[in-house]
Amino acid sequence: MKRVLLVGGGTAGHVEPALAVGNWLLGASSDIACEFIGTKSGIENELVPLAGLKLHHIQKAPLPRSFALSTFLWPIKFGVSIAQALRIVKSADLVIGFGGYVSAPCYVAARISGVPLIIHEANAIPGWANKLGAKFADEVLVAFKGSLKVGGNWATAKLVGMPIREEIFSISTMSKSDRSGIWDATYRELGLDRSKRTIFIFGGSLGAQTINEVIEQVLPELLKLDINIIHGVGKGNTLPKAVPGYVPLSYISNMAAMYIASDLVIARGGAVTCSELDVANSFALIIPLPIGNGEQVANAQDLVTKGAAEICLNSDFTPDWLLANISNLISKADRWKIKKNQVTTTPSVEIIGEIVLNNLDGSSK
Instruction: Report helix, strand or coil for 165.
Output: coil
Alpha carbon of residue 199 to chain centroid: 21
Q: How many CA atoms lie within 13 A of 50 on its CB side?
A: 9
Give me the pLDDT at residue 207, please: 55
Every domain range in the chain assigned CATH 3.40.50.2000: 2-163+347-362, 166-339
- CA–CA separation, 144 and 162 (whole Å): 8
Name the CA dihedral angle for 237, 238, 243, 247, rounded to a multiple of 10 degrees.
20
Segment-wise mean pLDDT, segments of 10 residues, the chain, 365 residues: 92 88 94 95 90 94 72 87 96 95 95 97 92 95 90 90 88 90 96 96 78 95 96 88 95 92 96 92 94 87 94 96 97 86 70 93 62
**Sign of the torsion angle spanned by Cα atoms 265, 267, 269, 271:** negative
Instruction: Report helix, strand or coil for 310.
Output: strand
- CA–CA separation, 119 and 131 (whole Å): 10
Domain at 2-163+347-362: CATH code:
3.40.50.2000
Give me the pLDDT at residue 337, please: 85
From the CB of residue 139, how many other CB atoms can be counted at a distance below 10 Å?
Answer: 19
For domain 166-339, give the CATH superfamily.
Glycogen Phosphorylase B; (3.40.50.2000)
β-partners of residue 106 are none
- CA-wise closest residue to 4 among 308, 364, 359, 245: 359
Q: What is the pTM of this model?
A: 0.87
Q: Do the Cβ atoms of 121 and 130 come closer than 8 Å?
A: yes
